[in-house]
Amino acid sequence: MKKIILFYICLFSISISFSQTSKLKSIIYDFDGLDIGQTDLPDGDYKNFDLSYHVAANPLTASDMLGDRVLQLDLNWSGGTGEFGKGITKYIQLDITADRFNFYCYNPLSNYSSGQADVIITEDDNQNGIYESPLDDKWVSSVTIPRSAEWQLISIPLNAFTDGNSGGNGIFDAGYIGNAGKIFNISLLFHRAPGVTNLETFFIDMLCFSQGTLPHGSTILDLPAKATGGRCLLGSYAYRSPADSVPPEVEAMFPAVNKLKYVNIFMPFAYSGITADVLPGNALQRLINKGCRPLITWEMMYTAFASIDPVQPRLNLITNGSFDGYIDAFAAQVKTYSDTVIMRPFHEFDGNWYPWSVDLNSQNPNNFIMAYRYIVDRFRAQGATNVLWLFSPNSAPTPNAGYNWLVDAYPGDNYVDLVGTSLYNHPLAGVPPWKSFRTLFTEVYYYMTAYFPSKPFIICESACRERYGTEPVSSQTKAEWICAMDNDLQSLFSKVRGLIFLNTNKEHDWRINSSFAAKEAVRTCIWEDPYYDAIPLGVQNVFNENNLRVFPNPFINKLNIEFAGVEGEASISVYDLLGREKWSSKIHNNISIGEDFLPGIYILEIKNVNFCRKIKVVKQ
């Protein structure tokens, strides 16, 4: 085997400008968020020979790119080699002409010499879940890592890897396209340098694939610069019925600013029985009147039955006309609304937990495409043109199979207006492995933005669990996870245009205020950041503290509202914490209200065409 010795050293003083083709593509390991001292890593880690490892605090200054957790590799050199690896066995769509494998490495000056390592990538060409040298490919690239006082970025073009065995098809072709094969595992095999006898320690982080050069900022430890002029609007899941208001339990937590634009409403075919009869009502129009955009997650199932129960609808029943009357009635109701509604049918179709999934419908994405198009066509035939259609896979396919690639299930640009996904850390039962937002989001973001670049991207459901008492106190907290998500959304994932919180206590406590620290993280990192403003860029919110006074708050008898400098008529509404409207009126000048209100917490909303302001008020 011919080996090529490659030197990849990125200097901190170099400022690099990247083209649009530079994208993070798939993360193998990002150790941020794991527990200090942890040796059992998520998803198939392994070691061989002279090497041991554990998660450690970043020995240098923490950074936005690497965070404060890395992996420490200790090599005792008793036999001369040591290997760290991860078993993957999954499809990753790679392009040998453009893609790179990357990792960060810190080789301290206290070590004896430059590090010598082989980066090894094996492919499962025959996709049987086993690496067999006569049947599968092995690719190798050798790297030299000089001692340094700083982190180094090791970036290897895939076409620099050489064939390390005589098996397989001899082509580096892992990916969904053509069912080419899976990446089986990736490892770093360190070799003892001549003369070394003592223990040596290396640190690594951010093992990943990228399209082109790995995106970063002015140094290799900086995230890419924030997107100029970008913004990401916020939303919340509405679990009450009727869902006719911006969930007040979200907005009431924070300073009075109009932030929530999207309200995600889940609607099944039926709440009981097997007759499809659930239709949206006037609540959606009230949402629209308040300046919100309803997002209907249309769950084509009977909620009284398990999702895999044979009684559940399948995609063929959609396309054979079995539900035409119901679909038409749904479209006719949506048509009556005065503004746009987002429809999200067949969400998370690449999972295996819903009756409409590709996996449960002959494992054929064409069945999904036909059903999706069928529904859109019937809405259009009914004249329901006030709809934006949302194509929404899960953040990771289950199973990871050749037939289950989200790109192959795309209904086409004429049938899709928006794309989105669901993302949780993490919905498994018990105490599931903790993963960074970046690890969970990278692949679905890459596929959606690379293959459907003209479609706005919305995270339709997002939440992070709290840590449990059995987990180390040094663990990354939910609050830290939220603020890291914010950093990544504004840099690595700046094409995301919507972030919708699943604010409920379900599999885990997903609520924004599941702890004081979590709520403060949302407030400081997201809520108060103008990047997430719902007011269009260039429009000034003229309703500020200088021209609006609401006092006294709390109040006993009357609440006084004084404002000045606002042109035109405004409307004022008061809601209780269940979202029920208690009072409303048009106003032109100062007013006093509240004599008839019962003691409690209320949401005061004042708006006109230029502004919308929500304030939490308390009657004692």
Condensed to tens digits (0 to 9), the pLDDT of residues 185-208 reads 999 999 999 989 899 999 999 999
Same domain, yes or no, for 161 and 100?
yes
Same domain, yes or no, for 482 and 448?
yes
Residue 228 lies in a domain: no
Overall size of the chain counted in residues: 620
Say whether pLDDT at 276 is over 90. yes
Tokens, residue 444: 């679905």
Same domain, yes or no, for 196 and 251?
no
Report residue 530's pLDDT band, with 50, 70 and 90 as the boundaries.
Answer: confident
Same domain, yes or no, for 246 and 180?
no
The last residue of a domain, from among 211, 245, 261: 211
Same domain, yes or no, for 344 and 407?
yes
The last residue of a domain, from among 211, 246, 269: 211
Residue 586: give its domain's CATH number: 2.60.40.3080
Helical (H) or strand (E) element with 251: helix 248-251
- Alpha-carbon distance values, 267 to 253, 279, 390, 418 (Å): 27, 8, 15, 19
- pLDDT reported for residue 603: 76
Same domain, yes or no, for 445 and 298?
yes
One-letter identity of residue 173: D
Average the pLDDT over 27-43 and give the result: 93
- CA–CA–CA angle 508, 311, 295 (5° rounding): 50
Number of structural domains, the chain? 3
Residue 46: give its domain's CATH number: 2.60.120.430
Residue 95 lies in a domain: yes
Residue 446 lies in a domain: yes
For residue 418, what are the domain limits? 233-532
Residue 353 lies in a domain: yes
Q: Which residue has the higher pLDDT, 616 or 447?
A: 447
Cβ contacts of 450 within 8 Å, gap of 6 or more = 23, 211
- pLDDT reported for residue 599: 81
Residue 148 lies in a domain: yes
Say whether pLDDT at 537 is over 50. no
Say whether pLDDT at 12 is over 50. no
Same domain, yes or no, for 450 and 504?
yes
Strand 496-501 with 570-576, pairing: unpaired
Residue 385 CB burial class (10 angstroms; 0-12, 13-18, ≥19)? exposed
Same domain, yes or no, for 413 and 510?
yes
Same domain, yes or no, for 140 and 248?
no
Residue 406 lies in a domain: yes
Same domain, yes or no, for 341 and 482?
yes
One-letter identity of residue 48: N
Residue 440: give its domain's CATH number: 3.20.20.80
